[in-house]
Every structure is written in structure tokens, then in C-alpha cells.
Chains A and B, each alone.
Chain A
């Protein structure tokens, strides 16, 4: 089995700071292959979004490199889910405390995927998305946004939600609010499927069909083609005058 990964980010057309952070790590271990793919979108409405997203990415990145090996000796997805949720809650508490001390507000989304051989666990807070791209595009994570909540309650249609001025408003993120309940899901890695994590800046101005066309697993067979296709999608988003930062990471396993 081989893992193919790529990650790319762009400040976009208008912002002065790129507040997104991301990481893609893979490793060979005695228990097989492991990977961590993660994208965090620092919150633009708040100050120091880039610090919040960097803190979360660094925390998980360090854990992957220094802590995961111990867990692999006695592997349990349930325990990993618990560790992940605790880490996100700790980071949430840390940011709130830091914010109070420095009189600033900072927060970030956090969406990631931990892969061990052909199984994965996704963890998610906010509106960064994890997609499965096969013959069709499937959103694995659920947006933690106000408009999505209202749609689920039947108070808003998809069209109303897309035009609502609160469409970027999050009901959950790391930092800012008092608690965090991450969404954690498990699955099996499928053959001929790309897994794509992207910040909202990547998907606002392109359709699902366009994402599917550009990142189709049929067109991506090597790391270089994956990197090129990801950059192509970013350039398309920029051409359409997206104002937000644009970030994405792609993972694929050749089973």
C-alpha cells in the first residue's frame, strides 16, 4: 500500500494575512502506514486567527510525530478518538485563557483525518470540509454553521442559507466559545478515491462538479499530478475573485 498526499494554500486576492494552517504527514511504522491530514481555518472575524490555526496544527503534528508510536503498540480507535477530543478541548481552553490574558479573541476551525493502514478516523469542528471524491463528491463532515443548523431544523432552505448574511457564522469552533464537541467518524479507506480537506475559501465560488472534475481520482495517479491539480483548483478559485484564504489537502491510498 502506498499513500499519496499533497497540500497547498494561498493567501487569496485581498487578505493581508493567510490565517489558514495545514499539515500532511505520513510515516512507515512497524504496524504499517500512518497519515495525518489536517486543515485549520483561522477565524477572519477575530484577531490572530493565524495564531489559533497554527497552534492546533502544531499540536496535532507534534503528537503524530512523538506520541502516535506509543499508541500504535496497543491500538484502539476508541482511545484515539478520546485523545483527539481531549486535545481539541484542551486547545479550546488554552485559546480562551490566552485571549482573556491578552484582550484578544482567537479561534479556528479544525478538520483532520488520521489514517492507519486502510482505516481512518475523521475529527472536525467548524466549517472546513472533508470530502470523499470517487465517482461522485460526498461531504463526510457536517458544517457547524448557524445556517446548516437552521436548515436541519427546517427553518431555512438551502437557497436562503446561501444568501443569508450569517452563512459564515459558526456554532462551534476551537477557541471563542466555552466548550467544544468535536464530530468524530470512522471509516475504511476506499480504493480509487481521493480524500480532500479544504477551507471554506476553497469551495465558495466553485461547484461540487468542478471540484469533482479537477480532483477526480481518474486524473490523479501520482504525487506531482495531485499537486498540480490542487494548484489548478486554487487558481480557478482566485480567478473567480474569492476574498478568503484558500487551502486544501488531498490524500489517497493505493491499496
Chain B
């Protein structure tokens, strides 16, 4: 067996270091993704489905205009629209569209 020169050793060590770093990054991402998918099992989810199924409903349509779906802050319900029952149950005060 021919002994390696100093430069050859440097190349081998550099390759090992790169290999280790790539593995650390890869496994960190895999574990993070797995943690997210296992976060809270029990309700409905889209996990575990074939990609062809998940994307089967991807009918792309023109992006709707957001103003169509927001209520101006000064808008009031019409006077002849009399609300009788008004039950709204949500479990967060956060809003996405505000």
C-alpha cells in the first residue's frame, strides 16, 4: 500500500468534512419535517397521500381581487337586515386578512 502524501490527506479530510456537514444539514431538515407532520395527529390531514391525489384538485383559476372579500371598516349592516341569532365561535383572536 502506497502511503498518502500530505496534500492527498488534505483532500481526504476535506471530503470527509464536507460529507459530515451535508449529512448534518440533511438529517436536521428531515427531522424538522417529520416533527411538523407528527405535531398533532387526530384530526383531518393531507399527510400520507400520494402526490397525484393531493394535487388532483389543483384547478388554477385567476387570482381573485382581495377587495372583493373584505368589508370596509365603516360599513354597517343595512337597517332592514335584522340579525336574530348571531353565534360565532372561534378559538383565536388572530387574523390573517387584517
Which of A44, A54, A55, A69 lies in contact with B43, CB distance below 8 A?
A: A44
A158 → chain B closest CB, angstroms: 19
Residues of A within 8 A of B7 (CB): none
Question: In this assembly, does B94 line the interface, its C-beta being within 8 Å of a C-beta of chain A?
Answer: yes
Indicate if the CB atoms of B87 and A180 lie closer than 8 Å. Answer: no
Which of A22, A41, A243 lies in contact with B89, CB distance below 8 A?
A: A22
Residues of B within 8 A of A35 (CB): 85
Cα A90 to Cα B67 in complex, Å, equals 11
Residues of B within 8 A of A176 (CB): 46
Question: In this assembly, does B8 line the interface, its C-beta being within 8 Å of a C-beta of chain A?
Answer: no
Question: In this assembly, does A211 line the interface, its C-beta being within 8 Å of a C-beta of chain B?
Answer: no
Which of A5, A59, A109 lies in contact with B44, CB distance below 8 A?
A: A109
Q: How many residues of B contact A (CB 8 A)?
A: 49
Indicate if the CB atoms of B77 and A171 lie closer than 8 Å. Answer: no
Indicate if the CB atoms of A43 and B44 lie closer than 8 Å. Answer: yes
A168 → chain B closest CB, angstroms: 5
Indicate if the CB atoms of B96 and A93 lie closer than 8 Å. Answer: no
Question: In this assembly, does A188 line the interface, its C-beta being within 8 Å of a C-beta of chain B?
Answer: no
Residues of B within 8 A of A9 (CB): 89
Which of A23, A42, A61, A86 lies in contact with B68, CB distance below 8 A?
A: A86
Cα A42 to Cα B91 in complex, Å, equals 10
Cα A126 to Cα B90 in complex, Å, equals 19
Question: In this assembly, does A18 line the interface, its C-beta being within 8 Å of a C-beta of chain B?
Answer: yes
Query: How many A residues touch the partner, as a band?
Result: 35 or more
Indicate if the CB atoms of B63 and A93 lie closer than 8 Å. Answer: yes
With A45-B46, A57-B90, A179-B58 as contacts: A27 and B82 at CB distance below 8 Å: yes
Closest to A144 in B: B57
A48 → chain B closest CB, angstroms: 8
Indicate if the CB atoms of A19 and B88 lie closer than 8 Å. Answer: no
* Binary CB contact string for chain A from 138 to 168 against chain B (1 if under 8 A, 0 otherwise): 0000000110010000000000000001101
Cα A86 to Cα B69 in complex, Å, equals 9
With A7-B87, A26-B84, A30-B80 as contacts: A177 and B54 at CB distance below 8 Å: yes
* Binary CB contact string for chain A from 44 to 84 against chain B (1 if under 8 A, 0 otherwise): 11110111011101110111011111000000000000000
Indicate if the CB atoms of B84 and A54 lie closer than 8 Å. Answer: no
* Binary CB contact string for chain B from 31 to 58 against chain A (1 if under 8 A, 0 otherwise): 0000011011111111111000111111
Closest to B41 in A: A45
Shortest 3 CB-CB contacts between residues of A and residues of B: A44-B43, A45-B45, A54-B90
Residues of B within 8 A of A (CB): 36-37, 39-49, 53-61, 63-64, 66, 68-69, 71, 75-78, 80-92, 94-97
Contacts A29-B82, A244-B43 supplied; 18 other A-B pairs, CB < 8 Å: A7-B89, A15-B42, A19-B91, A26-B84, A27-B84, A28-B82, A35-B85, A44-B42, A44-B45, A45-B44, A49-B40, A51-B94, A55-B96, A58-B95, A87-B69, A90-B69, A146-B49, A243-B42
A-B contact pairs, 26 of them (CB 8 A): A3-B85, A5-B85, A19-B91, A20-B89, A22-B89, A25-B85, A25-B87, A41-B43, A42-B43, A43-B44, A47-B39, A53-B90, A54-B92, A55-B96, A58-B90, A66-B76, A67-B71, A68-B81, A165-B48, A168-B43, A169-B46, A171-B49, A176-B46, A177-B54, A178-B55, A201-B43
